[in-house]
Structure 1
Amino acid sequence: MASEHVLVPLDGSPLADEALVHALDTFDCRVTVVNVVAPLDSGMSEGGVLEPGEERQTAATTRAEELVERAKRQAEEAGREVETAVETGDPAETIVEYVETHDVDQVVMGGHGGSRNELARRLLGTVATAVVSEAPVTVTVVR
């Protein structure tokens, strides 16, 4: 069965960018890119380490919007269109919820690896692992 709606979660990493390229090259259907802004008091955000503040939350949201807009431009350069979304919440939970509420039938996302620091490797691996185990659809992890 061919996919009709593919979700590509973006986090600004090179592997997430590769996941977008893979999705655009592989699937001839509706593609949505999403960035999840973790609340600054969440353990999955830098807010778990640094003092939260409205200025930092605004910066995180601005960065998320820039990521999805960059992906939109990248898709246009490839002759494709993508829908964009910026959500707030726990990254893995929010991605799974988005799948369930937006008729997504495939997720393509970057996995951990490369030359990242240990914290980034652990977080990205945790999100990908949780999405793979919790999503009710096929998940492709690009490495």
Structure 2
Amino acid sequence: MADPDHVLVPTLGRPHEDEALSYGLETFPDAEITLLAVVTPLDAPLSEGGILERREERTTQARASAAELLESGAGPDTGDRVRIALAEGRPGTVIPRYASEAGIDHVVMAGDRTRSNWFIRRFLGRDIATTVVERTTQPVTILE
């Protein structure tokens, strides 16, 4: 398999997303990287944190978090390789759709390392990373 030209790193406000960005930058040194800041809609059940904030505030915060992640995780040698995009929707739907529409070749994302979401997984039978793998035609690397 050839190295990808365009890699997607979704940001959901989870810990260890900096590791996903670093992995994408190091593993695919010639690829363009898109940090996709995903804003979960207010009507989405089981959305994590910030559920009572207004849409504009949540959107601004998602973009700021992605910019902070970029600043802390991307070194000076990354140049213009990394850009930030924003999408609103359920992560399990919006990430595969964005990957398809934006010509993404590979997805790299942080997995859920905590046990705090056992309740969600117990009743829904999957986490976001599993859903992305099932719905995405591109290869997906999940960092646990």
Bin of the TM-score, shorter chain as denominator length: 0.7 to 0.9
Q: Provide, for residues 21-78 of structure 1, a one-character-per-residue CA deviation record: whole Å limited to 9, x for no partner.
A: 111111121000011101101114258x96x5xx532221121011121133235434
Counterpart of 2:108?
108
Matches within 5 A, 1:19-34: 19-28=20-29, 29-34=31-36
Tell me the SS of whatever aligns to 1:41: coil
> Does the alignment pair 1:142 with 2:135?
no
Q: Give distance in 2, aligned partners of 1:8 and 1:121.
A: 23
Counterpart of 1:60?
58
Identity of aligned residues (%): 35
Counterpart of 2:117?
118
Task: Give the structure with the higher percent helix.
Answer: 1
Contact 1:6 1:31 in 2 (8 A): yes
- Where structure 1 has 5 or more consecutive residues not aligned to the other structure, the ranges are none
Tell me the SS of whatever aligns to 2:128: helix
Q: Give distance in 1, aligned partners of 2:87 and 2:74.
A: 22
Q: Provide, for residues 69-112 of structure 1, a one-character-per-residue CA deviation record: whole Å limited to 9, x for no partner.
A: 11332354342131111110111110000011011010000111
Q: Which residue identity is paired with 1:117?
A: S
> Does the alignment pair 1:18 with 2:22?
no
Contact 1:10 1:17 in 2 (8 A): no
Off by >6 Å, runs of 4+ in structure 1: none
Q: Give distance in 1, aligned partners of 2:24 and 2:9.
A: 7
Shift of 1:2: 1.1
Contact 1:112 1:121 in 2 (8 A): no
TM score, norm. by length of structure 1: 0.83
- Where structure 2 has 5 or more consecutive residues not aligned to the other structure, the ranges are none
Alpha carbons of 1:84 and 1:78: their partners in 2 closer, same or farther (altered >3 Å)?
Answer: same
Counterpart of 2:70?
72
